[in-house]
Structure 1
Amino acid sequence: MSTLERVRRHLKAHPMALDAALAVGVLASMVAGSFVEPHGENGVTWGVRTPDALSLVLIALGAVALVFRRRAPMTVLALTGTVSLVESVTGDPRAPVAMSAVIALYTVAATTDRPTTWRVGLLTMAVLGGSAMLAGPLPWYAQENLAIFAWTGIGATAGDAVRSRRAFVHAIRERAERAERTREEEARRRVAEERLRIARDLHDVVAHHIALVNVQAGVAAHVMDKRPDQAKEALAHVREASRSALNELRATVGLLRQSGDPEAPTEPAPGLNRLDELVGTFRSAGLHVEVARADHGTALPAAVDLAAYRVIQEALTNVQKHAGTEAKAEVSVVRVGPNIEITVLDNGSGDDEPPTDGGGHGLLGMRERVNALRGTLTTGPRYGGGFRVHAILPVKTRSRAAEDAV
């Protein structure tokens, strides 16, 4: 780090030291200017005039006041303006005490707003310039009197320009920080949504296949001694369900891999085209399921197709777990106008309590999936016993509708 950089940082960390150095420089300039005669025979002449004691005292007071210009800018301006006023009326020859008032006016303009700068600047210009013209020892049109107007105007203008630049830089920095915070919040929101989606997928996969494994394992244990062939068939179903669970878990967890990782999953997400396969796994577990479809080969967006599949999967899993061994389920998929309606009914013949929204994550996950697609989900007991799950999903999502419009 260079010496100049160290000095700059030190002065920035100690502003009063910088103001003291400025006061010393202004004091030296005012003292030197008090010995100069601007209208000599040979132009500007040094040492022709000598300031009196009062002028030197006023110069010293104006310079000392500048040390505190950052702490009390208005007070310093009032003090320097007063000593300048006294000097312009009484001093002969006059010393340039007004220089301290110009610096103080610059500080006020740089630290306040523009209306205040206008009011204070015009008042300072009028008081100092008017008093010098009307009550000073020089003619009203003297160069020194006109210079007071010019320098006070320059001080106010320069201070306002510095304040405007600082405000502009601060606004740019604040806008950049706000944009950075917005990007971070958006990234966190997307991560949370993705985490929730993956959690729903994992729950759907695990709940469905583990329920099947549990049922088939119970059947195998029950008939192991009396009907070993049926037990062997049940164990085969257990093996198939566990293999399917592992494959779907591998595909879901594979979404968490980086794009460059090897062996990334390429199998598409399940949809209604695999409904028969899904229903078959429940039938092999002993659940009687009837399916009715009237969607007329409707092509669904991937998100809607996956949501419909998961709703049916979760609903049948709940039937398997809660409705009992003699339960029967009915699944219907119907295209109704711009929507596709999914209905899963069961007769609720078992003694287990029906699922509720607060009983677990199954219904909550279904509701979140459907709501994310701007659909509706209705769940509840049926009149006369059983449970009903009814989902209405839009055939066209926002992105699909935009593509069709184009």
Structure 2
Amino acid sequence: MSTSIERCIASHPRLVDTVTVVTLFVLFLVGARISLPGATRREDLWPAVLLAVNACAGVLLSRSHPRTAVGVTTLCAMTASALGYLLTVLMLAPAMVAIYWLAVLTDRRTTRSYGIGVIVMLVATATILDPLDHPLVLKTVAPVAYVLVPVATGSTRRMHRAYLDAVHTRAEHAERTREEEARHRVTEERMRIARELHDVVAHHLALANAQATTAAHLARSNPEQTRRMLNDLTGTTSSALRELKATVGLLRHADDVGTPLEPAPGLSRLPELIDTVRSAGLRVTLTTVGRERPLSPGVDLTAYRIVQEALTNITKHAVGATACVRLAYSADRLAITVTNNAAATVPAGPPDPVVPVPTRGFGLIGMRERAHSVGGDLEAGHRPEGGFEVSTALPLYPQPSEEEERTP
């Protein structure tokens, strides 16, 4: 109910001001008639009429110029007090309305200063210039109470409006934050899917291209090996289609029909990956240092994809090289190093530390993003003794044992 009334008042401010001014004018005249019992003739009420007109005109300025409105209405009340009128609540109604709007539209300091000033001037005028010697309590205590009421009411409304504005601002900020977070999550998901697609397509297409090129080269000189290469090519393309289907399945909902249930690849499939790369003509050696420890799914997938991308780059850019994959397990880290000994990549000049190279494609960028996404880091560059090296260190995040899982 109160909300609908406030909306109606806010939507018709001129009508509300007009009704308020007419009401205050009538109240002022009634208060003048009551507070000056001896004024029975019409001529005795003309000063009250003029003061009422001026006070109501000042009230019309309350919304746009609240300080001016308080000054005009206070001056009219002081004049009425000097003429012998007792400052009742009816005659102080215009000043009370102006003070109320001052408290609503200005700050606390301004309200307090004007309120004290109005009280001092009204009490001083009623005490010093009162020609009819009204009771002292009515000339002092009553004006103070009449001024404090609109000050308190207006201040309360101002604080309530400030609270509502703060709540509205917080709600808008929370809504913007939710939208930004949603856009950020969508972007991260798109980047993750793009990395998966790049790793799958680039790796298998590079292997398929290497196998097809080798088969075409050996077609006449070694038909038997050519048949084996073509069989490996069939397996490579089938594996590419399976992984591509699994990756595209990330875009579906979990309850969609046909959603792949195959787990994401990890280091357990590293021997299969190395055999596939070897079928393309690349010599690969695998070395494991330390005791193998369980990996979280994200770290396991990241490690596999980094090795896959590194071997794919060697297959494409270092034909005839020998690749070495080294896995080193420590207490809390897994260090992965993939190197090749291609002499063509040796930089001229004296031996230097591993020199990082600018990334021309998305392979190194994707590997670095994968490593950072699980809290690791990655370095890639030319080796002083020749070839290229990709090294990364990933956190292990060990999983609890079965006995620990059973223990509450």
TM-score computed with the length of structure 2 as normaliser: 0.88
Q: CA contact under 8 A between 2:378 and 2:391: conserved in structure 1? A: yes
1:64 and 2:67 are equivalent in the alignment:
no
Q: CA contact under 8 A between 1:213 and 1:242: conserved in structure 2? A: yes
Task: Specify whether residues 172 and 69 from structure 1 end up closer, same or farther in structure 2 by C-alpha distance, changes over 3 A only.
Answer: same
Counterpart selection for 1:259 from 226, 251, 254: 254
Shift of 1:9: 5.1
Counterpart selection for 2:73 from 53, 71, 80: 80
Residue 25 of structure 1: aligned partner? 23
CA distances 1:47-81 after superposition (whole Å, capped 9, x unpaired):
96865212210101111221121111011111111
Provide the rounded CA distance (Å) in 1 between the counterparts of 2:115 and 2:59: 17
Structure 1 range deviating more: 187-196 or 59-68: 187-196
Task: Specify whether residues 61 and 237 from structure 1 end up closer, same or farther in structure 2 by C-alpha distance, changes over 3 A only.
Answer: same
Structure 1 range deviating more: 19-28 or 242-251: 19-28
Residue 43 of structure 1: aligned partner? none
| Alignment map for 1:111-260 (pairs within 5 Å) | 111-137=105-131, 138-143=133-138, 145-260=140-255
Provide the rounded CA distance (Å) in 2 between the counterparts of 1:355 and 1:314: 17
1:280 and 2:240 are equivalent in the alignment:
no
Residue 387 of structure 1: aligned partner? 388
CA distances 1:257-289 after superposition (whole Å, capped 9, x unpaired):
123312222111111111100111100110000
Residue 93 of structure 2: aligned partner? 99
| Alignment map for 1:355-370 (pairs within 5 Å) | 356-370=357-371
SS at structure 1 position matched to 2:285: strand
Structure 1 range deviating more: 20-29 or 303-312: 20-29
Provide the rounded CA distance (Å) in 1 between the counterparts of 2:369 and 2:19: 67
What one-letter code is carried by the residue in structure 1 that aligns with 2:269?
R
Task: Specify whether residues 9 and 160 from structure 1 end up closer, same or farther in structure 2 by C-alpha distance, changes over 3 A only.
Answer: closer
Q: CA contact under 8 A between 2:123 and 2:143: conserved in structure 1? A: yes
1:293 and 2:291 are equivalent in the alignment:
no
Shift of 1:128: 1.1
CA distances 1:152-198 after superposition (whole Å, capped 9, x unpaired):
11011100011011111111111122122222222222221222111
Shift of 1:92: 4.5
SS at structure 2 position matched to 1:303: helix
What one-letter code is carried by the residue in structure 2 that aligns with 1:59?
A
What one-letter code is carried by the residue in structure 2 that aligns with 1:120?
Y
Structure 1 range deviating more: 24-33 or 326-335: 24-33
Shift of 1:38: 9.2
Q: CA contact under 8 A between 2:321 and 2:341: conserved in structure 1? A: yes
Residue 82 of structure 2: aligned partner? 89
Q: CA contact under 8 A between 1:287 and 1:328: conserved in structure 2? A: yes
Residue 44 of structure 1: aligned partner? none
Counterpart selection for 1:322 from 317, 323, 329: 317
SS at structure 2 position matched to 1:35: helix
Provide the rounded CA distance (Å) in 2 between the counterparts of 1:210 and 1:360: 16
What one-letter code is carried by the residue in structure 2 that aligns with 1:102?
M
Shift of 1:83: 1.3
Structure 1 residues not aligned, in runs of 5+ = 41-46
SS at structure 2 position matched to 1:36: helix
1:306 and 2:301 are equivalent in the alignment:
yes
Task: Specify whether residues 352 and 258 from structure 1 end up closer, same or farther in structure 2 by C-alpha distance, changes over 3 A only.
Answer: farther
Structure 1 range deviating more: 221-230 or 348-357: 348-357
The alignment covers a number of residue pairs equal to 392
Shift of 1:16: 3.6
Structure 2 residues not aligned, in runs of 5+ = 348-354
Structure 1 range deviating more: 181-190 or 351-360: 351-360
Provide the rounded CA distance (Å) in 1 between the counterparts of 2:99 and 2:209: 86
Shift of 1:14: 4.6
Q: CA contact under 8 A between 2:36 and 2:84: conserved in structure 1? A: no
Provide the rounded CA distance (Å) in 2 between the counterparts of 1:197 and 1:134: 84
Q: CA contact under 8 A between 2:63 and 2:101: conserved in structure 1? A: yes
Structure 1 range deviating more: 30-39 or 149-158: 30-39
Provide the rounded CA distance (Å) in 1 between the counterparts of 2:258 and 2:37: 92
Shift of 1:146: 3.2
SS at structure 1 position matched to 2:292: coil
Shift of 1:322: 0.7
Counterpart selection for 2:339 from 307, 325, 345: 345
